Structure 1
Amino acid sequence: MNVKQITNLFSLMEFFVRAQRPLAVKDMVAEFGWPRSSVFNTVSTLVDLGYLYQPVARGGYYPTTKWMELARQLSEAQPLPESLHQLLEELASKTGETLFLAAPEGTSIVFLDVVESLADIRFIANIGQRLPIHVTAAGRAILSQYAPAERAATLRRIQYQPYERDDFMTPEAVEDNIQQGLSQGWFVNPGIYAPGVAGVAVAFPFQGQRYAIALGGPASRLEKNMASLGELLQTSVDQFLHDNES
């Protein structure tokens, strides 16, 4: 369930990112169709809290650097080391594809870090993005780290529905694929969730948490290289975990 006020706040901040300029109340009303009084109250509150200001009188509002300071402090407190982001960057450079770190959240996965491919045609991922845990390679890589009873309980809570393909419509079908992934060392998503998009992932148990490192890209580019990409991810992750256990 979304809290409307919070959703509206972040929609507004994303509008500032797209616009790259000060915005007047009328711009926000035109963009979202919100009541003018609601927009004015939101803007006034953000000004009072120090998050918006007017660079020029009557010239519109723009975010202050207070947002940057919050982001900096959160980044410094991030429990994941910078070396992990560097690993994603290295793998993105080697493969030419989008790399991401995923964590479980109920019956979904959430992207914690993303390094996007530079290719014109690429998998576009965003930090904070959520996808169903059972149909994604990253999700099944995470599920593979669960104890059997916990995994079975999670699979029973999923509301199964067909996506681009209907490969995983029962707990048994997902479990069979997880066992296959465990035997080969990596997990694949051959265009099951979204049309034309494929993925490869490996389990990444780190600092007592269950993560996955995965890459995504056009199925036409990945489908012939799934095994080699899986081996590369697994080798890189094994080396990273070894180096960080020393």
Structure 2
Amino acid sequence: MARRVPRPAGAGAWGRSMGQGLLRKSKIGDNKSTQVDLWGGACMVRQVENVLLVLEYFAERRAPATVAEMTDHFGWPRSSAFNIVSTLAERGYLYEPRARGAYYPTPRWLTMAQAVSEADPVPAALTRVLDRLVDETGETAWIARASGLHVVMLDVRESPQMLRYVARPGMRLPIHVTGSGQALMARMATAEREALLKRIRYQAYNRNSPMEAETVRQQIADSEERGWFMSNSAFSSDLAGVALPIRIDGHAYAVTTAGPENRFVPRMPEIAAAIRGAVAAECGAGALDMTPLRAEA
């Protein structure tokens, strides 16, 4: 069973929501786990994880917090919380906006994030594709790229509907299980894809999870013949998605739209056409070329 971790801020949604690996939005102070481990059981460095949890905590709280409040929220020893906060403050990542000992992140986080993002930006045309898709389909849409055994969401637009797929930039999903991942695998050279299939740990994430390499190969072949890629309760229950692989400036991306299974599955051909139309309009028809890449630029 995957290790359960506290739900990152921003991974939930207001109201009644659903998401890939996400159950519901928890309240501030509710320390119950609501996200399964999407990192495939990878070992985490505890101190690094705790720093990230502090940042995510502030992103959801949106207000200063004392060391005592963080201790209560995370269930950490006070000394551990104090050491983390003190280190972040000394490095210029937290400050005390008032004299009562409450801390809040400084703009240094934003400055660093912008510098990183500007060095490897998501093409502007793809952000416009996402806007079009949410407007046209009413469902959540995202851009993803391959990262080892996972796909990583680079940009996300959530559906405005109360019942929706919940996602956030940075979310990682198993590459062989999802429509996004199989779309990206289809763009790989055969040798690269086969090497990846040998490294995958096949497990039953959900009722339709592929449990062997041959199943993944067949699903990719079926999707190429159909003209679009899909998943349906392969990773999370009652969620379905449609994806198309595209190529911009020599880089492979997957454009995906997803939503609740009962609402989404009957619309799959329609949504695939919407993705194709949005990509052609914003990126040009050449971006839809299905030829496998020999090597990533």
Q: Which residue in 1 is equivalent to 2:40?
A: none
1:60 equivalent in structure 2 = 102
The residue type paired with residue 174 of structure 2 is P
1:100 and 2:142 matched = yes
Q: CA deviation at 1:63?
A: 1.2
5+ residue gaps in structure 2?
1-42, 288-297
Q: Distance in 2 between matches of 1:243 and 1:202?
A: 13
Residue 157 (str. 1) matches residue 199 (str. 2): yes
Aligned-partner residue type, residue 155 of structure 2? D
**1:115 deviation in Å?**
0.6
1:211 aligns with 253
Aligned: 1:83 with 2:125: yes
Match of 2:153 in 1: 111
1:201 is aligned with what amino acid?
A
Q: 1:163 to 1:243 in 2, by over 3 A?
A: closer
Q: Does 1:240 pair with 2:277?
A: no
Aligned residue in 2 for 1:174:
216
Where 1:61 maps in the other structure, the secondary structure is strand
Cα displacement (A) at 1:67: 1.9
Cα gap change, 1:20 to 1:240, in 2 (>3 Å): closer
> In the alignment, which residue of structure 2 is the partner of 1:230?
272
Sequence identity percentage: 40
Q: CA deviation digits over 1:33-56, x for unaligned, max 9?
A: 222222212211211121111111
**Structure 1: 5+ residue stretches without partners:** none
CA distance in 2, matches of 1:92, 1:219: 17
Preserved contact between residue 223 and residue 229 of structure 2 (Cα < 8 Å):
yes
The Cα RMSD (Å) is: 1.7
* Deviation, structure 1 residue 242: 2.2
What is the CA–CA distance in structure 2 between the aligned matches of 1:41 and 1:167, rounded to whole Å?
42
Distance apart, 1:167 and its partner CA: 4.8
2:102 is paired with a residue whose SS is coil
The C-alpha deviation readout for 1:179-238, integer Å capped at 9, x for no partner, is 111112101112221111000000112222221000110011111111111122123223
Per-residue CA deviation, residues 83-122 of structure 1 (Å, 9 max, x unaligned), is: 3212111111111000011111111111111111110000
Match of 2:90 among 48, 53, 72: 48
Q: Does the 8 Å CA contact 2:122/2:155 hold for their aligned counterparts?
A: no
The 1:49/1:244 distance shift into structure 2, 3 A limit, reads: farther
Equivalent position SS for 1:135:
coil
Q: 1:243 Cα shift?
A: 7.2
Alpha-carbon spacing, 1:78–1:22, altered in 2? closer, same or farther (3 Å): same
Among 213, 228, 241, which residue is 1:186 paired with? Answer: 228
CA apart distance, 1:76 = 3.0
Q: With structure 1 as the length reference, what TM-score do the two structures score?
A: 0.93
Instruction: Choose the corresponding residue for 1:198, options 237, 240, 244.
Output: 240
Question: Bigger CA drift: 156-165 or 235-244?
Answer: 235-244
Which residue matches 1:25?
A: 67
Question: 2:175 is matched by which residue type in structure 1?
Answer: I
Higher helix share: 1
Higher relative contact order (CA 8 A, sep 6+): 2
Count of aligned positions: 245
Distance 1:166 1:187 in 2: 15
- Deviation per CA, 1:23-78, whole angstroms, max 9, x where unpaired? 11111111112222222122112111211111111241111122222233333333
Q: In 2, Cα distance between the equivalents of 1:128 and 1:89?
A: 18
Query: d(CA) in 1 for partners of 2:83 and 2:240?
Result: 44
Give the distance between the partners of 1:51 and 1:181, measured in 2 at CA.
46
Larger Rg, first or second structure (1 or 2): 1
Name which of structure 1's ranges 3-12 and 204-213 shifts more when overlaid on structure 2: 204-213
